[in-house]
Structure 1
């Protein structure tokens, strides 16, 4: 169970880092740049801790897939980005794939 908490933390920190990357405006704003560095360093640290008890394929697929989905949610809710039908289908397929992968463990 603790390894899934490490993975969840890694996902959240990766999404934080990605959001700060957008806010850095091409690495021209210092505070978001610091957020990028902190977010990604801690995300990889927690991912490495999750790998102590979870398989690599499952961990990485869940981390990258959920990170992508949550980043889209942030883009839509904070940055007013649009998602079309193809994007929604892609998100749906990601969710199905992540669930199937975790069920097969």
Structure 2
């Protein structure tokens, strides 16, 4: 059975995916000088913000935004490393780890 909380988390994950897709497309838009990557960027962000707004009807803004920003950042870093030739450094790995720990602490700290 899918509860309202589960639906909120599913919408939040979809919002993150749309934002990550939009950010990745932005890389290929070359400063919005290429039409289709630019269109995908705007569509990705539009869908992401709409889904995030729907999520905020049932989830606290602090929790939703921390998860949205943290997972989105980690996903973009992973895409950069795996597909765009960006390197992984110790400071980058530590930063991602701190973001993840921060999201977990916010959730455990009763930010619901």
TM band (smaller chain): over 0.9
Shift of 1:103: 2.2
5+ residue gaps, structure 1, are none
Q: How does 1:32-43 map to 2 (within 5 A)?
A: 32-43=37-48
C-alpha distance in 1, partners of 2:10/2:54? 10
C-alpha distance in 2, partners of 1:4/1:102? 13
Q: How does 1:5-20 map to 2 (within 5 A)?
A: 5-20=10-25
Which has the larger displacement, 94-103 or 34-43? Answer: 94-103
RMSD across aligned positions (CA): 0.8
Q: TM-score, normalised by structure 2?
A: 0.91
User: How many pairs are equivalent?
Assistant: 105
C-alpha distance in 2, partners of 1:54/1:104? 15
1:23 to 16, 21, 28: 28
Rg bigger for which structure? 2
Shift of 1:104: 2.5
Q: TM-score, normalised by structure 1?
A: 0.96
